Amino acid sequence: MIEAVNISKDFYDIKAVDQVSLTIQEGNVFGLVGTNGAGKSTFLRMLSGIIKPDKGVIKIDGMDIYENVKAKERFFYISDDQFYFNNATPIDMKNFYQVIYEGFDGERFDTLMEQFELTPNRKINTYSKGMKKQLSVICGICSNTKYIFCDETFDGLDPVMRQAVKSIIAKEIADRNITTIIASHNLRELEDICDHIGLLHRGGILFSKDLYDMKLNIHKIQCVFHNEEDAKAMFDNLDILKREQRGSLYTITARGNREEITNYFDKVKPVFFEILPLTLEEIFISETEVVGYDIKKLIS
């Protein structure tokens, strides 16, 4: 488990991370979203023990991270612009990481390289940006660490590759129950992989919630009532976050248990009602609007 309590980091007069508290459970894929400059990378760098928080405590499995080899052995950090040694080939990097990470799986590395059609003997500086990203994920996966921290890892990958990378991570989660933190400014990239989302804004965390819980608790319903009284009675009894009306068709976003909402509609017996799936973006729009933010300004 990763636990950050009130961590802050200033760079001169800029508050990069401000009083952030987060708990990331094992086996989670935690999506850290926020605009550029929201503090995602700084947070991940603190989590990786690269930089030291000015205030607060950050622990991995109960251990302090900064300058703690035992703690660092448990994760692999993939930065937004991963460094590869000058003139190095993937083989060189494999050799390097084999020195660093005791559990580094060389065979898996070779297999994944082949799977992604990356040439192991080619110099990395001749690779495209996307290929470098793939290589960084392969290195991270093969390190066999319990945690993987990815900073904008899907940025620059084409949709096919993005899906391929996601599938490796998903497989790894399924096989080894690894915990992954993925920082991204693009909410859509995280939608199908994350099960927990933390939203950072101006160094502070707006909220951190389980995606499943969020999906369970927010629902989009399209319905048509027999009359206005029925509709009013219905809305008065629901925790409505958003309501739109086009003719007699209402589209509402309401918080609550799906069963309870269904039962309630069954009682009122509207002309028609249907619960529609919500996109992650829609959930975020609803949640952030509640706390007074315009999500479109917070994420891309």
- Binding residues for another protein, rule: CB under 8 A, are 11, 45, 48-52, 67, 69-73, 75, 77, 79, 81-83, 85-86, 92, 95-96, 99-102
Torsional sign, CA 253, 259, 262, 265: negative
Minimal distance in Å, beta carbon 161 to another protein? 22
Between 64 and 213, whose beta carbon lies closer to another protein? 64
Task: Decide if 33 contacts 299 (C-beta within 8 A).
Answer: yes
- Amino acid 28 reads N
Between 132 and 162, whose beta carbon lies closer to another protein? 132
Task: Decide if 198 contacts 28 (C-beta within 8 A).
Answer: no
Distances (CA, A) of 155 to 93, 189, 287, 298: 22, 9, 25, 17
Contacts 24+ apart (CB under 8 A), 157-164: 157/130, 157/133, 158/130, 161/116, 161/130, 161/133, 161/134, 162/189, 164/116, 164/134
| Secondary structure of 138-181 as H, E, C letters | HHHHHCCCCEEEEECCCCCCCHHHHHHHHHHHHHHHHHHCCEEE
Q: In whole angstroms, give the CA distance from residue 261 to residue 205.
A: 30
Minimal distance in Å, beta carbon 299 to another protein? 24
Query: Minimal CA–CA distance to 263: which of 273, 253, 252, 276?
Result: 273
Between 71 and 142, whose beta carbon lies closer to another protein? 71
Between 104 and 225, whose beta carbon lies closer to another protein? 104
Minimal distance in Å, beta carbon 166 to another protein? 23
- Amino acid 234 reads M
Minimal distance in Å, beta carbon 65 to another protein? 10
Token digits of residue 45: 């760098």
Minimal distance in Å, beta carbon 57 to another protein? 18
Minimal distance in Å, beta carbon 81 to another protein? 5
Between 138 and 283, whose beta carbon lies closer to another protein? 138
Between 69 and 160, whose beta carbon lies closer to another protein? 69
Minimal distance in Å, beta carbon 170 to another protein? 24
